[in-house]
Structure 1
């Protein structure tokens, strides 16, 4: 009787074990536990994976340093400023052109030198002896031409002295405003060979025109030394010269 109970007990235990084994196999074949574990791992990976994507693709906040990245645009703006400098350079070129305007044709046209637009000075010279230097300075606003030679009259003389032909310059003397031209006067013979000498205390200087026939404009009346100057019939003048050295060399 006891052995029968023992057998039944073992049979029940074996049956229970078989049932448990069957249940365990069913659970394994269902794969739920494995899938759940894999799903959890996949979920964890998938939730971590989007992070780099989100960081690289999503726009940066306006307050972030990445929002200031368009510094290249600022550099471009700086280049624009450089272009502005180029414009300033053009403005400078324009200023240079306008700072030296072309003079009106009338103001640049030379005229004939004469007494009203010049100042004449007569200065006796010690060397060469018995010579006097005439200096004519352009006091006008236009350039002027000193044509020919000075027509001088000492005192009450009725005629003008002749010119030294060899003293003629190669070009007409031109005086810009403020410049001077020169001529010398041989007052008397150094060897005493001159005749009809006298002491003159006044002088008139007249200017020739382009044609050389007669005087033009106003004459000049430079002062002479108080004692006057001695002249005789050997009196001669030079042509107008551009330099003083050329004038006194005759």
Structure 2
């Protein structure tokens, strides 16, 4: 009888020891081992800005619809966060006005004297942007006509289908004399791209009004929204 009790006691102790060992093993599996730097590896990988996310945060990148900062922060890059253009540079989604999507006409107004009026009308089905000033070449001249900087508008002129943009051509400089004066017969109009560097698209080639006299001081305005604004200069 005493031997049976001893065997029962031993079996009970063994069972309790087995349960205690299993509990310790479960606890070890569910509790992450602390890293030597004091951070939790699992938490660092799952939190925004944690492991693998530091480089994006340092450069100001935002994941999502792309309308926020991208790459370097907008304040340092000077670019619009939503992909749009900066103020005064027009809508980047619109094509520039060129000889392909506009019809150009040059005329001689009664006032002011020694001026021509250049008009381009959008003949397409989509709006276009008249960037900067027209780039003019009289006959076979090598140098483009200078631009009147004071005529720069506050924003790029958007030309709707059927609408027009205007530029005034001053044929001689005020008080500059008749330096290199001559009679011109042809005018080639080149169109500036959004960047303002060089020209883009097809130019327009026009015949000048009879007796057009110009000199080396000739100049042209930026594109304007109305003929009256263009002829102010």
Q: Calculate the TM-score normalised by the size of structure 1.
A: 0.54
Instruction: Call closer, same or farther: CA 1:192–1:168 in 2, change over 3 Å.
Output: closer
Cα distance, 1:189 vs structure 2: 3.8
Aligned equivalent of 1:238: 221
Does structure 2 retain, via aligned residues, the 8 Å contact 1:130–1:189?
Answer: no
Alignment partner for residue 229 of structure 1, among 209, 212, 225?
212
RMSD between aligned residues: 1.3
Bigger Cα Rg: 1
Cα distance, 1:190 vs structure 2: 5.8
Instruction: Call closer, same or farther: CA 1:168–1:174 in 2, change over 3 Å.
Output: same
Q: Which has the higher helix share?
A: 1
| Aligned structure 1 segments of 4 or more residues deviating by more than 2 angstroms | 189-192
Tell whether 2:178 aligns with 1:197.
no
Cα distance, 1:191 vs structure 2: 5.3
Task: Give unmatched runs, 5+ long, in structure 2.
Answer: 1-92
Q: Deviations over 1:80-121 (max 9, x none)?
A: xxxxxxxxxxxxxxxxxxxxxxxxxxxxx5211000110000
Alignment partner for residue 171 of structure 1, among 155, 175, 194?
155
Aligned equivalent of 1:92: none
Distance (Å, rounded) in 1 between the aligned partners of 2:194 and 2:158? 12
Cα distance, 1:160 vs structure 2: 0.6
Task: Give unmatched runs, 5+ long, in structure 1.
Answer: 1-108
Question: What SS does the corresponding residue of 1:194 show, helix, strand or coil?
Answer: coil
Distance (Å, rounded) in 1 between the aligned partners of 2:135 and 2:120? 13
Aligned equivalent of 1:113: 97
